[in-house]
Structure 1
Amino acid sequence: MELPLVVGVDGSELALRAVDWATDEAALRGLPLRVVYASLWERYEGEALAEGSRGSAERTMAESVLRAAAERAGRRDPAVRVATEMVPDDAVGTLLRKAMDATAVVLGSRGRGGITEMLLGSVSLTVAARAHCPVVVLRGSHDNRARDGRHRRVVLGVGDPAHGPAAVRFAFEEAAGRGVALEAVRAWRCPAHESPDHATSAGEPARGHERRAAEILDTALGDFAGGHPGVEVRRRTVEGTARKVLLDASESADLLVVGVRRHDGHGHVGLQLGRVAHAALHHASCPVAVVPLRA
């Protein structure tokens, strides 16, 4: 079954940028695009008020937001099939339900209530932490393009291969669809106590850690490279913390892909993502795709 690409909108400029990106992505993958607007005004205001002037105004605004988003997507690529949906519920709950039957969910980094584009909004953070499909959050001063990106590069942060290939598969599909290179990155560190001079870049201990990082890269990529012969694959091991290494890599990437394990029942939403994904969503210089992995 062909699952749509879902984009959440709220009338903000960042949401409209997400529509641009999602339209390009839908065109690349040959998918329908579903534009979703969620609002609790009917529930909070009650039926009587919902039928009055305030309710009419809220509904008119919602319809206007959806119409503007659909028209923008149509101008972006008339071949993309676009459907709109207004849901009388909270944004997080709505998007998590839509994610159950979606190829991916695309969101701006903040909504209308955001103070600054550089901070991640609670809706984007919560959906990225809990959704059952990949979630793409637009970060940084990007060019709103999933096609013909400026850097011609998708970066994949490679984690533990034992957690499954979902993020690797997603990254290869993105690189293949865009016709760009895939850079697979694995960070490594040598504990200071393993080096006699406390210099992580010196001696056999450091070489051993770097060698293991290269082996993890090879294991994670597995047969995917052979299955995508048109994708140029660049393997890179970098000394440093995964957070810093991937944030640095995002400065010259069109998309950063990271995998996350879901920790159901964890008390803090952000920590469900893990430190690396959490840092990427808050500080990356390009859009970030968070792909759920097997726990």
Structure 2
Amino acid sequence: MVTVSDLPIIVGVDGSEPSLWAVDWAADEAALRGVPLRLVYARLWERYEGTSLAQDLTRQNGEVTAEDVIETAAQRARLRAPDVKISTAVLPEEPEYSLVHESRSAAAVVLGSRGRSSMAEALLGSVSVTVAGHAHCPVIVLRGSHDNQARAGRRGRIAVGVGEKPAHSAAVRFALDEARLRHVPLDAVRAWRTPAHENTDHPLMAGEPARLHEEQAAEELEEALREAPDDVEVRRRSVEGPARRALLDASAGADLLVVGAQRRSGHFGLQLGRVAHGVLHHAACPVAVVPEEA
């Protein structure tokens, strides 16, 4: 019987520098969790990502095969995490399909935020967005500095966005696990706003709607963190304003930002939500998108 500890970290490899930095990050994560690492290359990736290859893959004759890409990534992972069990796969499938399929039996999927196309600097790669929107496990997309290189945590904290349904949140559980494994504090952020129709000019009611919404946000934070383990330091923050802005601000001081994404049964469109979509494009650190059941 397969247990959670047997599930691998999956990393998508396409031969680009960002995908090799994702290999570094995934190898560190696998070592941290004590789980295997599985490197996946989809043969049809070139159709989406162009031809810009990592320096590691320079060949005198200019020919680079899928096997070259995956073996270079595997060698890099072995150097990074020599104690981690590593497997590889070259799949004759669309990259989005193969990675979403792989996510059914994975602890997490790790991807670079940019692929091998010239447009990727401005827009998050279509593969990363699609996989984050449909995967069956958490998807970690490297965001942050312009080089996106995997580094040991420098800020010493994890941040998580607490949504409108805080009870039994998969995103909060994932963030608590990450904070515990890394021995760092967790910043739990709940954004709130006072609806315009609740504003009043009556002097006896001044500030009352805002106070009630702030109190509700604080209660939702407590509900989300009710089962937080004693060995994790949790910092609760309720922030007035749009959730996207609050989480982007939190990402500036975090090593990982965790957000939830609702999964609606029978719905085939993109299921990221506006907040998750926004932070994937603009966060200042890697982002973990965790599926939440509707």
Q: TM-score, normalised by structure 1?
A: 0.86
Which position in structure 1 is the counterpart of 2:150? 144
Matched positions, count: 270
Asked if residue 279 in structure 1 is aligned to residue 278 in structure 2, the reply is yes
Which position in structure 2 is the counterpart of 1:222? 226
Cα offset for 1:77? 1.7
Query: Which secondary structure state, in structure 2, belongs to the residue aligned with residue 273 of structure 1?
Result: coil
Letter of the aligned partner of 2:17 in structure 1?
Answer: E
Matches of 2:149 and 2:213, distance apart in 1: 37
**1:113 pairs with one of 117, 135, 138:** 117
Matches of 1:205 and 1:14, distance apart in 2: 46
Matches of 1:262 and 1:168, distance apart in 2: 16
Asked if residue 123 in structure 1 is aligned to residue 127 in structure 2, the reply is yes
Asked if residue 253 in structure 1 is aligned to residue 254 in structure 2, the reply is yes
**Sequence identity, in percent?**
60
Cα offset for 1:164? 3.6
Query: Which secondary structure state, in structure 2, belongs to the residue aligned with residue 140 of structure 1?
Result: coil
Matches of 1:22 and 1:259, distance apart in 2: 20
CA 1:153–1:73 in structure 2 vs 1: closer, same or farther (change >3 Å)? Answer: same
Query: Which secondary structure state, in structure 2, belongs to the residue aligned with residue 115 of structure 1?
Result: helix
Conservation of the 8 A alpha-carbon contact between 2:114 and 2:121: yes
Matches of 1:290 and 1:255, distance apart in 2: 11
Which position in structure 2 is the counterpart of 1:40? 44
Query: Which secondary structure state, in structure 1, belongs to the residue aligned with residue 121 of structure 2?
Result: coil
Summarize deviations over 1:263-283 as a string: whole Å, max 9, x none: 3555642xx211110101111
Gaps of 5+ in 1: 42-56
Conservation of the 8 A alpha-carbon contact between 2:166 and 2:220: no
Letter of the aligned partner of 1:92 in structure 2?
Answer: E
Matches of 1:177 and 1:164, distance apart in 2: 20
Conservation of the 8 A alpha-carbon contact between 1:179 and 1:231: yes
Query: Which secondary structure state, in structure 1, belongs to the residue aligned with residue 189 of structure 2?
Result: strand
Conservation of the 8 A alpha-carbon contact between 1:143 and 1:149: no
Conservation of the 8 A alpha-carbon contact between 1:260 and 1:290: yes
Conservation of the 8 A alpha-carbon contact between 2:113 and 2:141: yes
Conservation of the 8 A alpha-carbon contact between 1:18 and 1:107: yes
Matches of 1:37 and 1:114, distance apart in 2: 20
RMSD: 2.1
Gaps of 5+ in 2: 46-60
Q: TM-score, normalised by structure 2?
A: 0.86
Cα offset for 1:143? 4.8
CA 1:173–1:114 in structure 2 vs 1: closer, same or farther (change >3 Å)? Answer: farther
Matches of 2:282 and 2:167, distance apart in 1: 25
Conservation of the 8 A alpha-carbon contact between 2:189 and 2:239: yes
Conservation of the 8 A alpha-carbon contact between 2:167 and 2:223: no
Matches of 2:282 and 2:123, distance apart in 1: 8
Conservation of the 8 A alpha-carbon contact between 1:156 and 1:182: yes
Letter of the aligned partner of 1:144 in structure 2?
Answer: A
- Higher mean displacement: 189-198 or 207-216: 189-198
Letter of the aligned partner of 2:293 in structure 1?
Answer: R
Matches of 1:129 and 1:188, distance apart in 2: 24
Conservation of the 8 A alpha-carbon contact between 2:166 and 2:223: no
Summarize deviations over 1:93-127 as a string: whole Å, max 9, x none: 11011001001100011211242435211100000
**1:188 pairs with one of 186, 192, 202:** 192
